[in-house]
Amino acid sequence: MTGTTAPFIPPGITVRRMGADNGDGLVVDIDSNGGPAVHGIGVEPPEGASRSNGPTWGYVIEDDGVTLIDPGHLGSFGFLSDGLKTLGMAPADVDRVVVTHGHWDHDGGVAELVDASGAEFWVHELWQAYAPYSYGALLRADDSPLRAEMSRIGERHRESGPRKYGGAERERGGRERTPGGSGRDSYDSMRSGLKVDRGLVDGDRHGSIEYLHTPGHWPDEMTIRLGDLIFTGDHVLPEITPHPSMLYSHPADLAKTLPSRYQDPRDVWGLPAYLRSLRRVVELGTGLRVLPAHRLFNRGEFRMTDELRAAETISFHLDRCDVLVTAIESGDTDLESATREVFSYRPLTDSYHLMSAVSEVISHVELLEETGDVRVTAVEGDGAVGLELTGSRNYQDVIGRLIPGFESPG
């Protein structure tokens, strides 16, 4: 670890090996209050992957064999193996690998770990249904006006060409960045070829571990509970607010493979689904300890939090809806200008960050449409869409009811 000051070690954490200031390479033991042994490994991303959120935290639970949650990226297997070695383990000791959701920094390392260990692969049952579809394929299959407008914004930005470097973007300091890290095509191929040994559903248990379906950031996202520990993947994070998904229409060939309980995409996609899942975490109890997939340790400090972080995240999205409504009221009635106003605190100077911001604003527009506070209208002439306020503010009560102690402004 860089620097000269040793970090404060919170109660319940024992450091096996110190790592970098962002948590890369850090290995810890986590007290489970009389339950099974629990360990955390800061699994470093491979060369070419984004490092903005630090490592993916993989968690090892010794309960009825060894369960490993979230092995990290494709290409990070060496970092994971090194962390296991620090714990006195080898990949062959892992009996099952569980991923919290189907994003490359969580399930990307599954194939390498399974090949090396013979471990079973457990994941929410929706993961397998979505595995053949890349994010781009889902985006192209959805023809909603907002998604079409997002594509137009992306095309305009690519044509103007700011800060393009051969199709990759650059982070501050000049590091080349590709959204899926290097080898995104290899990741998609690996993912679609994985065999699922157990498709989990909400409420499933194994030993002391309970699996809860908490969609919204991604449709197959799970929160995993072990006593007063909750492993939240990207559902609840310290320091930052996870990206909510947009609402998608299921492609017909995908829809016919889904169990009936998932036929309505609004149950698993979009900001309303995400907010409901956050509320579910709030209701799990008090004094829970959040073990996230990112930012458990950052800037030389442990970033421990509890279930109230879920309530703070709901409040954040209420505030963001307020900002968006104010932007539209002030004349930012097209999607790109509204996005730039909502994100005025940060530069959106490359296509990756702009499109990420646009997709997040779309998730809020979709919620405001659902609550009757915004209309998405066609703009004559160029096929674009505009954002129009209806005059109501129903979203304040709809979101507010999910926040403990909320009092309606009305």
Q: Are residues 208 and 335 in the same domain?
A: no
Would you state the pLDDT for residue 381? 64
Considering the domain architecture, whether residues 93 and 29 belong to the same structural domain is answered as yes
Structure tokens at 211: 């699996």
Q: What is the mean pLDDT of residues 229-236?
A: 98
Q: Does residue 214 belong to any structural domain of this protein?
A: yes
Helix (H) or strand (E) holding 325: helix 308-329
- Whether 251 and 355 map to the same domain: the answer is no
- 65 lies in some domain: yes
Among 250, 284, 306, the domain-final residue is 306
Lowest mean pLDDT among 34-43, 135-144, 211-220, 311-320: 135-144
pLDDT digits (tens, 9 = 90+) for 23-34: 999 999 999 999
Residue 63 forms part of a structural domain: yes
- 406 contact partners, CB below 8 Å, separation of at least 6: 400
Distance between start and end Cα atoms, the chain: 51
Q: Does some domain include residue 180?
A: no
pLDDT at 167 (0 to 100): 33
DSSP assigned state of 287: S
User: Is 60 exceeded by the pLDDT of residue 371?
Assistant: yes
Length of the chain equals: 410
Q: Are residues 255 and 156 in the same domain?
A: no
Q: Note the pLDDT of residue 314.
A: 98
* Tally of domains in the chain: 2
Q: What is the pLDDT of residue 136?
A: 73
Domain co-membership, 199 together with 69: yes
pLDDT reading at 166 higher than 60: no
pLDDT at 143 over 90: no
d(CA 6, CA 228): 27
Same domain, 118 and 254: yes
Q: Residues 148, 127: one domain?
A: no
Q: What is the pLDDT of residues 117-138, one digit of tens each?
A: 999 999 999 999 998 887 777 7
Find the mean pLDDT for residues 176-199: 73
- Residue 5 belongs to a domain: no
DSSP 232-286: EETTS-SSS-PPPPPP-PPPHHHHTTS-GGG-SGGGTSSHHHHHHHHHHHHTT-S
Phi, psi of 277, deg, nearest 5: -70, -35
Return the amino acid letter for 385.
V
pLDDT at 286: 95
- pLDDT at position 184 is 67
Q: Which residues contact 13 (CB under 8 A, 6 or more apart)?
A: 28, 29, 30, 31, 302, 304
DSSP per-residue string spanning 376-407: EEEPTTTS-EEEEE-S--HHHHHHHTTSTT--
* Per-residue b or e along 204-227, where b marks 16 or more CB atoms closer than 10 Å to that residue's CB: bebeebbbbbbbbbbbbbbbbbbb
Point out the least confidently predicted range of 184-188, 265-269, 406-410.
406-410
Question: Alpha-carbon distance 147 to 139, whole Å?
Answer: 7
Distance CA 38, CA 190 (A): 29
Q: How, if at all, do strands 37-43 and 56-62 pair?
A: antiparallel
Q: Kind of pairing, strands 205-206 and 198-200?
A: unpaired
Q: How confident is the model at residue 160 (pLDDT cuts 50, 70, 90)?
A: low
**Which tokens belong to 179?**
């959204």
> b/e for 97-123, b at 16 or more Cβ within 10 A?
bbbbbbbbbbbbbbbbbbeebebbbbb
Residue 83 within any structural domain of the chain: yes
Do 261 and 346 fall into the same domain?
no
Indicate the burial class of 276 (C-beta count within 10 angstroms; 0-12, 13-18, 19 or more).
middle
pLDDT digits (tens, 9 = 90+) for 350-367: 888 899 999 999 999 999
Instruction: Write down which residue in 306, 324, 350 finishes a domain.
Output: 306
pLDDT above 90 covers a percentage of the chain that reads 74
Does 178 reside within a domain?
Answer: no
Q: What share of the chain is helix, strand, coil (3-state, %, to 5)?
A: 35, 20, 45
Instruction: Answer with the residue of higher pLDDT: 156 or 226.
Output: 226
Q: Coil, strand, or helix at residue 119?
A: coil
Report residue 181's pLDDT band, with 50, 70 and 90 as the boundaries: very low
Q: Are 277 and 215 in contact (CB under 8 A)?
A: yes
User: Could you tell me if 272 and 384 lie in one domain?
Assistant: no
Which domain, by its residues, includes 365?
A: 144-162+314-400
Domain boundary among 266, 284, 306: 306
Whose CA is closest to 342, among 359, 361, 356, 355? Answer: 361
Provide Rg for the chain, Cα atoms.
Answer: 21
Residue 122 and residue 154 share a domain: no
The rounded distance, in Å, linking the Cα atoms of 68 and 320 is 35
Beta strand extents in 70-183 (DSSP E only)? 96-98, 120-124, 169-170, 176-177
- Verify that 201 and 67 share a domain, yes or no: yes
Chain-centre distance for alpha carbon 293:
9
Residue 124 φ then ψ, to 5°: -60, 145
How high is the pLDDT of residue 254?
87
Q: Shortest CA distance to 246 belongs to which of 129, 376, 359?
A: 359
Both 363 and 293 in one domain: the answer is: no
Q: What's 78's domain CATH number?
A: 3.60.15.10
Q: Is residue 168 part of a domain?
A: no
Q: Is 88 left (phi over 0), alpha (psi -120 to 50) or beta?
A: left
